[in-house]
Amino acid sequence: MRSGTYKETYAQLVALTDSRLVWFWSAVLLAVLFVAPYYLNAYALSFLTLILITAMGALGLNILTGFTGLISLGQVGFLVTGAYAYAIAVSKFGWSPFAGFLLAALVPAVASLIVGAPSLRLKGLYLAITTMAFSFIINSVILEARSLTNGARGIRVRHPDLLGVGTAGDVAFSHLCLVFALAALFATLNLRRSRVGRAFVAIRDNDIAARAMGINLQSYKLLAFATSATMTGLAGALYGIYLSFVSVEGFPFLLSIEALAILIVGGLGSTLGAILGTVFIVLLPEATRLVFSAVSGGAGGLFTTGGQELKSILYGLVIILFLRFQPRGLVGAWHDLKRAWVNWPLRY
């Protein structure tokens, strides 16, 4: 069993991992995710697809908030922007799905520069309020631009055909989401180890010291906004396809709270934490419903009649509990468990 991590070359230092065991279990997990859609029923498969899409958005927010330390409550604005960019390009203009995904990445990135530029001198609560206001402004613009967005009526979106392969089936679409999620994961892991990622972390830890080291705060903050919005916009496009219909009502502000809850639960600034937090938060309402249904059959129906309100309560409760008892999130709990296992019986 490994008792420490020692690097002898620069190649070992920048490698994703030097553990063959990690590569083995990663390959097993990838194989399971690829095969699972063929055996899951439609209900379970919808949760798997939703986890993959949500993970992309969580990784995008993790770049902005976890890596760079810029608190954002406007992720739903980038989600809906990416969804509408794809829907307008493909459904209204008849462009190819590739062009739709390209616009779903570029349009939110441009929007992030517009909202990010005035926010360069803001921090903490003020930045969070500014990004939250952006999400409400985007919704108002979408509702008023009826000739382009159909206003409150929304736009119907069909599953795309990519390289001659249709994704109309649930299995094919889940594989498409898996490809996007894996690309987002590897992009995030490599970004964190790059010069840009180290600059993001330096800004998060101490922006004054980062400026003294020659890091251009304005440029890197805007780059963090754009990178996060690009990834989130693609997640929004996939979410719109998943819903088969893009409208403002399909992207409530609760999604921004959900994304922030994912980072807090998983572990702020951790890529693994974003994945673990996504699985936890997406499955939390369903797990709670099953528990309530087992205890009292009538209580489970509350998740049908008041689902959004109960989700808000659950997210708020989970955030409070994790901040109080496990501020490092699930990743911190996992590291504590590994440390206890390795050091046993000399833990204390």
Q: How would DSSP label each residue in 172-204? A: HHHHHHHHHHHHHHHHHHHHHHSHHHHHHHHHH
Contact 193, 14 (CB under 8 A): yes
What's the whole-number mean pLDDT along residues 78-85?
94
Closest CA to 61 of 210, 256, 203: 256
The pLDDT tens digits for 303-316 are 555 556 777 788 88
HSE-up of residue 51 (Cα within 13 Å, Cβ side)? 21
- pLDDT at 348 (0 to 100): 53
- Cα→Cα distances 154→37, 206, 247, Å: 29, 44, 4
Would the pLDDT of 192 be above 60?
yes
Q: What pTM, to 2 d.p., does this model score? A: 0.89
Instruction: Give the pLDDT band (50/70/90) at residue 166.
Output: confident
SS3 243: helix
Instruction: Give the pLDDT band (50/70/90) at residue 300.
Output: low
- C-alpha torsion 17→21→22→25, nearest 10: 160
Helix (H) or strand (E) holding 165: strand 165-166
Instruction: Give the pLDDT band (50/70/90) at residue 235.
Output: very high
